[in-house]
Amino acid sequence: MKINLPKNIRKYKTKVVAGLSFRQLLFCVVGVIIFGFFAFLFSKILYITMACIVSAIVAIPVFMIGFVKVSGLTFEKIIVRVIRAELFKKDFRPYKREGFVNNANIDKKESKSSRRS
């Protein structure tokens, strides 16, 4: 008995509210909270229109973190990989280069030692 499964079965995410996954909903709520906080904070200093524009500029990246995937990786996974690569990078190469130049130097050393004998 054969069962055909769609190829993109691993990309399926359960929708919680309004077609958003839990992750997307979480970042939307956090973005709205940040937007409200900065709008309230800047409304005392700026006109309300300018306060909303500045708040949107601050909150839009938070919204986008929930939706954007690069090469199948979420924002958090990309940040973890970048931090891991920067903190734990090695300054030396764990292998030795083998090639024509290294072999030529070894051959010269061997020929000089054989001439002396």
Containing domain of residue 34, as a range?
Answer: 9-116
1 domain-assigned? no
Give per-residue pLDDT as tens, 80-113. 888 888 887 766 656 666 665 655 555 555 555 5
18 domain-assigned? yes
More confident residue, 104 or 62: 62
4 domain-assigned? no
Measure Cα distances from 29 to 25, 58, 69, 112 in Å: 6, 14, 19, 75
Pairwise CA distance, residues 93 & 112, whole Å: 30
pLDDT of residue 42: 87
pLDDT of residue 110: 57
104 domain-assigned? yes
